[in-house]
Structure 1
């Protein structure tokens, strides 16, 4: 059967099997002789699509990113029943390449909505994934697919950490397709799928207590720098997934990691709960925001720059037009952000109908992430808008004497800002505008969801969640779906804000029209909205 994509031979890269079988590949046998062809993600319209429009704004402040990041897998281990077929063999269908850590690739998708300029959104597009990778290395984040407790000493356990790289490893060449098949015996399935605690080291609690102590030190150091540099709200700042908050890494208050390690009878209790991906993501978001805000403050307070003439950087003949360097120093805007990371327990990619996977969403601001249920066709929101009108955000900020006002449109704002969480916005940091991510983990069953959608507020502010999902359902592929969503949102919008939509295919894509009557639920409403938008008389009211 021929592949769906017509690729030049120069774009293909053979899979490197010289490194030997990894714990992830051993789930389907030790021998995996095949050739993997890497397909550039942004040109794989059947798996991924994105569209941007500036609307009626003079320029586009939105940005997006898509690719693969090099961090250990955080997916749940797949049961043996999913790694064996009925005949006890695996045909290698849809097998993807592994990352540098030996785990299946972790996919990364992000949408960034800038305000007050595009500097912050561009910064997140180019740097945020690197912060996630660096945080994973700092915290010694370990793969959930490896048996770390069978190591004989801490030095060998440290070898399971991701391999260091000198530059960013977010790759555009992210989708892998096989051009051959691999037959693996069922008897060759590795013991890495076994969740038993046999072979547990006697001193394992001491090792993982040390790892937890290092994580606490990193968390405390970052919070201390926020408190000393920014102050205000951050003097009592307690991130949800940090140990100094009393819970830490999703634990309930009062949970003692060391005590749990000493009295645990399961290796999973010791390894998977020391440092979670939620802690890594929280640290990465806060560190990226701290570096961005600190750089802006240092540029303004530069004593050498303060002594220079005010018109030093003016453009000759155009004194009213500041130079690029001057505009950078005066930047006071920020950006919202929504990031989705997908990890699979086996080499089978997440878009395969028989593949389970784990989705982690990290959200700041009013961009949105939606899932489409295959069974019901309903839109499932994974994020909430961080606005002053949100009860949770209002309670969080009123404790720190933040002032809320209601504008002429009836929208509640804080110090002129519509978002209570954002990157940048240094003038509002002391009031509580932070980049602490709202993190959610979703276990995706085989073909349980049809697709994933990430949109900026230029789309979600005009269309409701179900309308966005129904428009994608009618498209032939994710790329067409993203373009249709942005086109419709731009057509019916009265504000003309920047609009961005990113669509990712999941296992149930081929069945997207089955649940909930397909896309018929909102079709009449969308047709009426389109007619109203094109009617010139409706614009006069």
Structure 2
């Protein structure tokens, strides 16, 4: 239903589309009986986005979206490795086979320079990075010293030697290369020594033939690359209980504490508010920027998770910054988006409620509809809890004003 409604408002071209590889763009293509339609990603029916400064004096939250043109052979390799799926790009056609929709949320700290850079550049870097640059990039990483003296290459290992391997990248390697390249690019700017940003990026690739956009895909390959405490979660049609695709990379998180203690010993300090901070300064132990902390184990290496979605079993995906997730649980976020007429309205409901409960930080909410949009079955599990929290917040505000 959502596909037909959007297609009626979209531009249809009967000409053969340009070959994949000509650069990213701000629309997604869909095959129709009359040709290939171009559907703008900025439509509130396609991706719902709200972004608010809160009570802060400046905005450090940013976001990005684009449709990337990637090598279909690389995507074929990724899906075979991660899902055991033999996807045939030729069954889709050249115009749609390499089409990958990118959606990212970025939360800056110490200033907005790094998060603004990510908004402008990360999607382009994800599309354009090449394995030929890995040996030189690896040398730069090793020169960071400290923690990275022991770095073996991770997902980039096949290409760190000269001459590099001819092996294709999968999406995990591509994300790692792009994230590390961000830090290298930023290293020429002194601001990046003390300014950083967390990032969560979702990459969606339809496996349908004929090709369909992400919001109508019956089979959708999802790859999430994540650094920090921005969050990505899925809402299933059955039951509507949140499925997190990210974990917060905080200093006291189990995976991060193990990683850091193994390489660096312990530099975990609890501040006067009871919050654990690495080196006594940083909440997040993975981020882009903050270059002066890299030698102490703060890494831009993303945690990459994948999931093959039967689109009709999933209603939507939500990405949020910690201005929202520090106030609301994943299940509350997912439930608030229920029954919204469009993705933007769903995002507005989430943001509004977090602010009603006292959220005053920069906040970003992105709601991405999937093929099961509007079909959630089962009760709203957090409705009573949310109403209780709202009444508590109202009572607290009244007492504050007395």
TM-score by structure 2 length?
0.84
- The 1:395/1:472 distance shift into structure 2, 3 A limit, reads same
**Cα deviation, residue 116, structure 1:** 1.2
- The 1:16/1:296 distance shift into structure 2, 3 A limit, reads same
Contact 2:192 2:291 in 1 (8 A): no
- The 1:245/1:529 distance shift into structure 2, 3 A limit, reads farther
Deviating more after overlay: 398-407 vs 355-364: 398-407
CA deviations 1:48-78 (Å, max 9, x no partner) are 1000111111121100111201112426487
Whole-angstrom distance in 1 between the partners of 2:232 and 2:179: 17
The unaligned stretches of length 5 or more in structure 2 are 21-30
Residue 396 (structure 1) aligned to one of 233, 254, 259: 259
**Cα deviation, residue 236, structure 1:** 1.1
The answer to whether 1:281 aligns with 2:175 is yes
Equivalence for 1:72:
71
SS of residue matched to 2:259? helix
**RMSD of the TM alignment (CA)?**
3.4
The answer to whether 1:296 aligns with 2:189 is yes
- The 1:450/1:538 distance shift into structure 2, 3 A limit, reads farther
Whole-angstrom distance in 2 between the partners of 1:462 and 1:473: 18
The answer to whether 1:234 aligns with 2:148 is yes
Residue 123 (structure 2) aligned to one of 113, 123, 129: 129
Give 1 or 2 for the bigger CA radius of gyration.
1
Whole-angstrom distance in 1 between the partners of 2:252 and 2:400: 29
**Cα deviation, residue 3, structure 1:** 5.3
Contact 2:70 2:98 in 1 (8 A): no
Aligned residues: 376
CA deviations 1:183-232 (Å, max 9, x no partner) are xxxxxxxxxxxxxxxxxxxxxxxxxxxxxxx6xxx43432211222x212
Whole-angstrom distance in 1 between the partners of 2:268 and 2:203: 34
Whole-angstrom distance in 2 between the partners of 1:7 and 1:356: 23
- The 1:4/1:274 distance shift into structure 2, 3 A limit, reads closer
Whole-angstrom distance in 2 between the partners of 1:243 and 1:377: 39
Contact 2:66 2:123 in 1 (8 A): no
Equivalence for 1:504:
368
**Cα deviation, residue 371, structure 1:** 0.4
CA deviations 1:446-472 (Å, max 9, x no partner) are 312110100000011100000000001
SS of residue matched to 2:292? helix
Whole-angstrom distance in 1 between the partners of 2:18 and 2:398: 68
CA deviations 1:64-102 (Å, max 9, x no partner) are 11120111242648779xx99xxxxxxxxxx9x964xx5
CA deviations 1:17-68 (Å, max 9, x no partner) are 27799xxxxxxxxx9862333232112x222100011111112110011120
- The 1:471/1:410 distance shift into structure 2, 3 A limit, reads same
SS of residue matched to 2:42? helix
CA deviations 1:251-293 (Å, max 9, x no partner) are xxxxxxx9xxxxxxxxxxxx9x84311111111110111211x
- The 1:538/1:506 distance shift into structure 2, 3 A limit, reads farther
CA deviations 1:461-504 (Å, max 9, x no partner) are 1000000000011312111000111111112135x111100000
Residue 429 (structure 1) aligned to one of 288, 291, 294: 294
**Cα deviation, residue 539, structure 1:** 4.4
TM-score by structure 1 length?
0.63
From the two aligned structures, give the one with the greater strand fraction: 2
Contact 2:60 2:107 in 1 (8 A): yes
Whole-angstrom distance in 2 between the partners of 1:42 and 1:133: 20
Whole-angstrom distance in 1 between the partners of 2:32 and 2:42: 27
Whole-angstrom distance in 2 between the partners of 1:422 and 1:442: 23
Deviating more after overlay: 63-72 vs 451-460: 63-72
